[in-house]
């Protein structure tokens, strides 16, 4: 099953079941192109995993970490399917990063990897838009990763059974495939990530874990159309402006 959050023509925020371009909610049927699609959840935080694919670490000239590398994107970074992401002004290198995201279904603290599936509501797609100019100058990556609209998320929340064990994660810019790999190449798998994160901080219902990006990251420019696709989940589409 796939759920989608949206704002209808009366301005009411609703959650409905999504199937092949059609939304069913509150006894009505909507065409997805006729509504405003919202992020599929309302996270208090997005916990991101750096360098979770070895070839991505290699392309950036970094070592593979010996434990999950964690950083945060705050709620101001959220944007939705169909939105236009405004690039930070005056930066030479802002890049796309296609990611599978885990959406948390209940408050979670000190969760063992063996029990991780119990706290997963489902999965969605994200573009971890990254300002490399500043990321390379700072340790906490606030300017590099947490700027407004730097986390396009969506379009749907897919139930866990929808995600293949070897799901493909890909990014296309203006129709050209730039990233394509499978989640089998993750260094740290999702249960390990949940265990590690919840040792240090409480995850709330609706919080998001972005599980890292495969190799092939590349530059974004004014006018680009970006598609982030996760097999079994769906395709997030957004635009870019300077």
90 and 32, same structural domain? no
Write the pLDDT tens digit of every residue in 151-200.
Answer: 999 999 999 999 999 999 999 999 999 999 999 999 999 999 999 999 99
- CA neighbor of 235 nearest in space, from 87, 125, 135, 148: 125
- What is the CATH number for 70? 3.90.850.10
DSSP-derived letter for residue 117 is: G
pLDDT at 62: 85
Write the pLDDT tens digit of every residue in 32-87.
Answer: 999 999 999 999 999 999 999 999 988 988 888 999 999 999 999 999 999 999 99
225 and 202, same structural domain? yes
Work out the pLDDT band at 233, boundaries 50, 70, 90.
very high
192 and 130, same structural domain? yes
101 and 208, same structural domain? yes
- CA neighbor of 233 nearest in space, from 121, 100, 35: 100
Number of C-beta neighbours around residue 66 at 10 A: 7
86 and 34, same structural domain? no
C-alpha 25/C-alpha 119 separation (Å) is 25
pLDDT at 201: 97
Tell me the three-class secondary structure of 187-198, residue by residue.
CCCHHHHHHHHH
122 and 8, same structural domain? no
81 and 27, same structural domain? no
- Residue 240 pLDDT exceeds 90: yes
Residue 164 neighbours by CB under 8 Å, 6+ apart: 231, 232
pLDDT at 134: 95
222 and 161, same structural domain? yes
C-alpha 97/C-alpha 216 separation (Å) is 8
Kindly report which listed range (9-13, 40-44, 209-213) carries the lowest average pLDDT score. Answer: 9-13
138 and 64, same structural domain? yes
215 and 187, same structural domain? yes
Residue 66 neighbours by CB under 8 Å, 6+ apart: none
For residues 80 and 169, is the Cβ–Cβ distance under 8 A?
no
pLDDT at 57: 86
Write the pLDDT tens digit of every residue in 87-119.
Answer: 999 999 999 999 999 999 999 999 999 999 999
Structural domain for 27, as ranges: 1-38
Number of C-beta neighbours around residue 90 at 10 A: 7
70 and 20, same structural domain? no
93 and 25, same structural domain? no
- What is the CATH number for 7? 2.30.30
pLDDT at 107: 98
- In the chain, the number of structural domains is 2
User: For the whole model, what pTM was predicted?
Assistant: 0.97
């Amino acid at each position: 099953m796939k759920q989608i959050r949206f704002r209808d023509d009366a301005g009411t925020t609703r959650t409905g079941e999504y199937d092949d371009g059609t939304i069913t909610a509150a006894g009505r049927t909507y065409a997805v192109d006729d509504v405003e699609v919202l992020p599929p959840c309302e996270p208090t935080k997005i916990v991101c995993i750096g360098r979770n694919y070895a070839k991505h670490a290699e392309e950036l000239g970094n070592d593979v970490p010996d434990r999950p590398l964690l950083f945060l994107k705050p709620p101001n970074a959220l944007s939705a399917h169909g939105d236009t992401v405004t690039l930070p002004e005056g930066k030479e290198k802002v890049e796309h990063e296609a990611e599978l995201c885990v959406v948390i279904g209940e408050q979670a603290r000190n969760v063992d990897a063996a029990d991780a599936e119990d706290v997963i509501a489902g999965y969605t797609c994200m573009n971890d838009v990254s300002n490399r100019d500043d990321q390379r100058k700072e340790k906490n990556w606030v300017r590099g990763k947490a700027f407004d609209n730097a986390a396009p998320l969506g379009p749907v929340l897919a139930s866990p059974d929808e995600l293949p064990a070897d799901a493909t994660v890909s990014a296309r810019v203006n129709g050209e495939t730039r990233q394509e790999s499978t989640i089998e190449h993750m260094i740290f798998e999702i249960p390990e990530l949940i265990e590690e994160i919840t040792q240090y901080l409480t995850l709330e219902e609706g919080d998001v874990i972005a599980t890292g990006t495969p190799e092939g990251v590349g530059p974004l420019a004014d006018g680009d159309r970006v598609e982030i696709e996760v097999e079994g989940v769906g395709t997030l589409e957004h635009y870019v402006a300077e």
